[in-house]
Amino acid sequence: MAEVRKEYLDNIQNMDSSDLKNPLVFVIDMINGFVKEGALADSRIMNIVPNIQMLLEKVEDRVFICDSHPEDAREFVSYPTHCLIGSNESAVIDELKGYINGKVVLKNSTNAFFAPVMQEILKNDLDQYQDLVLVGCCSDICVLTFALCLNTYFNEHQMVDKRIIVPINMIETYGIEGVHDHMKWNEVACDIMASNGIQVVNVK
């Protein structure tokens, strides 16, 4: 569960996983470099793993998204070096590896929308799905930017039947005291997504 204030969580609607319609799950950056090791890892993100596992047991169609950077990545101007191509940091955590059964999207930015493989998925694979479910980390960076771009894409192409669903109990962000208040940014990210018509719900 994304850590938020109790009064905030009280306003989040519940959704049963059986109510998902032709879903495709995007598992975003549940990799060692954000969960277990390296400059940007935060162990609190492990707390959402059981809920993600629960969903993946019920939904067979999945896309795993993994940060994967060259050593001279432009992103390293803004963030410490992390998740280099071929490194253990860029690999999906062991607890979720067994659920990989489809495409893996490697991205060189915070936003998976612009990754080449994702562009292929958008053009070739989306017709068969109605609900796009986004889980993983970080709620206010990689989840948020991907959700907003995906939503804008659907608006531009008049894909009125598509729903973007973000389970609040399956996303999280990092915390650094005095620098990045994880509870605040979880709430900010969820508010921004909800205000753009993205369904932020608690999926059971």
Of the candidates 84, 68, 78, which has an alpha carbon nearest to the alpha carbon of residue 29?
68
pTM score > 0.85 for this model?
yes
Kindly state the tokens that stand for 2: 């994304």
How many Å apart are CA 61 and CA 71, to the nearest integer? Answer: 32
Q: Are residues 52 and 97 in contact, defined by beta-carbon separation less than 8 angstroms? A: no
Domains of the chain, with CATH numbers? 6-203 (3.40.50.850)
- Residue appearing with tokens 């938020």: 4
Matching residue, tokens 């709430």: 187
CA atoms lying within 13 Å on the CB side of residue 108: 11
CB-based burial, 172-198: b 16+ in 10 Å, e otherwise? bbbbeeeeeebeebbbebbeebbeeeb
Q: Contact at 8 Å (CB) between 64 and 93?
A: no
* Number of neighbouring beta carbons within 10 Å of residue 39: 11
List the pLDDT tens digit at each of the 204 positions of the chain: 788 999 999 999 999 999 999 999 999 999 999 999 998 899 999 999 999 999 999 999 999 999 999 999 999 999 889 999 999 999 999 999 999 998 999 999 999 999 999 999 999 999 999 999 999 999 999 999 999 999 999 999 999 999 999 999 999 999 888 888 899 999 999 999 999 999 999 999
